[in-house]
């Protein structure tokens, strides 16, 4: 699971990876410029999609998907154990990832936070 926060002053979206997910995903923190965030959606069904090729991290189907993946030319970061709490963050002009698929405590509130932040852009 991750905590998503927005720093308007620095223009950053930060995903702070929590607990053992740091170990499984090989990341503890992601910082993405808000200018690169295109949008966010709550998408529980994404967990059923093909993950692609694991570049670094963990993939135990039905248990956890965490880390970097390549799928159809896209660079993805996953951190999901419970698909019902999965949020997909679409990125543009991203240096590292095209999409983030991250489990959060409150998907609707997280999507609203991100959408409001980029609307004010």
pLDDT in tens, 2-53: 999 999 999 999 999 999 999 999 999 999 999 999 999 999 999 888 899 9
What was the pLDDT predicted at 47? 87
- 74-80/99-103 β-pairing: parallel
For 45-99, the pLDDT digits (tens) are 998 888 999 999 999 998 999 999 999 999 999 999 999 999 999 999 777 899 9
Q: How many distinct helices (H) and strands (E) make up the chain?
A: 2, 9
Please state, as a whole number, how many other Cβ atoms lie within 10 Å of the Cβ of residue 76: 21
Report CA torsion sign: 114, 73, 64, 55.
negative
Residue 108 has pLDDT above 70, yes or no: yes
What is the per-residue pLDDT for 93?
79
DSSP per-residue letters across 20-63: THHHHHT-SEEEEEGGGEEEEEE-GGGGGS---EEEEEEEETTT
Domains contained in the chain, CATH given: 2-120 (2.30.29)
Q: What pLDDT is attached to residue 121? A: 58
Mean pLDDT of 96-121: 93
């Amino acid at each position: 699971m991750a905590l998503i926060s927005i720093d308007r002053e620095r223009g950053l979206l930060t995903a702070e990876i929590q607990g053992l997910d740091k170990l499984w995903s090989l990341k503890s923190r992601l910082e993405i410029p808000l200018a690169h965030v295109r949008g966010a959606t709550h998408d529980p069904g994404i967990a059923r999609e093909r993950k692609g090729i694991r570049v670094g991290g963990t993939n135990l189907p039905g248990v956890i998907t965490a880390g970097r993946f390549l799928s159809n030319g896209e660079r993805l970061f996953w951190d999901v154990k419970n698909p019902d709490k999965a949020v997909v963050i679409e990125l543009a002009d991203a240096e590292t990832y095209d999409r983030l698929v991250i489990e959060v405590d409150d998907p609707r509130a997280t999507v609203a936070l991100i959408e409001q932040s980029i609307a004010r852009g």
